[in-house]
């Protein structure tokens, strides 16, 4: 999988029925990784939220919006979702918290995905989310040039993508004007943010056994 060609990324946060996250993770890691990738979707990472036992967080990517419009119907109208989608959906209260993003800089190429049955890695991942709303265009150069480099060269740096949702069966959030940094480094914001840059929302995440993002950093360390 070559992430250099991923230009559209979804950050998805699912609210689950109490106590059913492990059930969803088991289905997801077993059934929804290779099957999405066969449809043209790069599943970048899937995570337990360490501060909320009933939330599942994941990221997936596409070459561009046209590829997204082709890949999502191929997966959700395909045989794997037909067989396992109802079981997965039964664990969810709300799957509508989804942000459409684009890379602010290149994404690293990962090693092969861990095999089925792999134990969760010791890696811990933090996602920092800044919301600028209509002020994103003004804030983005400062974030890209002055804030993102503080998280190191391996952090994923993303920003909101404004585009029509070409798969309306799955809703997308709009108007947030986000910059998102995802890192395995320290889970605190580096000191001395530039003037006008607010404190971000923070998600503390633990990769599942087959999370690609977790495997990248586990292999490097």
Predicted confidence at residue 220, as pLDDT, reads 41
Predicted confidence at residue 191, as pLDDT, reads 86
φ, ψ of residue 200 to 5 degrees: the values are -90, 165
Predicted confidence at residue 219, as pLDDT, reads 39
CATH topology of domain 3-220: Alpha-Beta Plaits (3.30.70)
3-state secondary structure (DSSP) of residue 215 = helix
Sign of CA dihedral 161, 165, 168, 173: positive
In which residue ranges of the chain is pLDDT below 50?
A: 216-221
Q: What does the domain layout of the chain look like in residue ranges? A: 3-220
Task: Say what the pTM is.
Answer: 0.94
- Which helix (H) or strand (E) segment holds residue 24: the answer is helix 21-31
CA angle 153, 208, 47 (to 5 degrees): 65
Predicted confidence at residue 49, as pLDDT, reads 98
φ, ψ of residue 179 to 5 degrees: the values are -120, 130
């Amino acid at each position: 999988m070559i992430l250099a060609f991923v230009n559209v990324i979804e950050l998805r946060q699912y609210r689950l029925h109490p106590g059913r996250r492990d059930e969803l993770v088991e289905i997801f890691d077993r059934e929804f990784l290779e099957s999405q990738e066969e449809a043209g979707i790069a599943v970048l990472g899937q995570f337990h939220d360490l501060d909320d036992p009933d939330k599942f967080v994941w990221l997936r990517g596409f070459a561009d919006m046209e590829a997204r419009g082709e890949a999502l119907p191929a997966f959700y109208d395909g045989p794997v979702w037909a067989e396992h989608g109802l079981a997965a959906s039964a664990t969810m209260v709300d799957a509508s918290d989804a942000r459409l993003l684009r890379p602010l800089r290149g994404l690293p190429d990962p090693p092969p995905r861990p095999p089925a049955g792999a134990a969760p890695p010791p890696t811990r991942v933090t996602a920092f989310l800044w919301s600028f709303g209509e002020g994103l265009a003004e804030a983005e150069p400062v974030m890209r040039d002055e804030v993102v480099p503080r998280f190191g060269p391996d952090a994923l740096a993303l920003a909101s993508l404004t585009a029509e949702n070409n798969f309306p069966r799955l809703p997308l959030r709009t108007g947030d004007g986000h910059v998102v940094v995802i890192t395995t480094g320290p889970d605190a914001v580096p000191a001395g943010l530039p003037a006008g840059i607010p404190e971000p929302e923070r998600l503390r995440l633990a990769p599942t056994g087959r999370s690609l993002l977790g495997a990248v950093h586990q292999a490097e360390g």
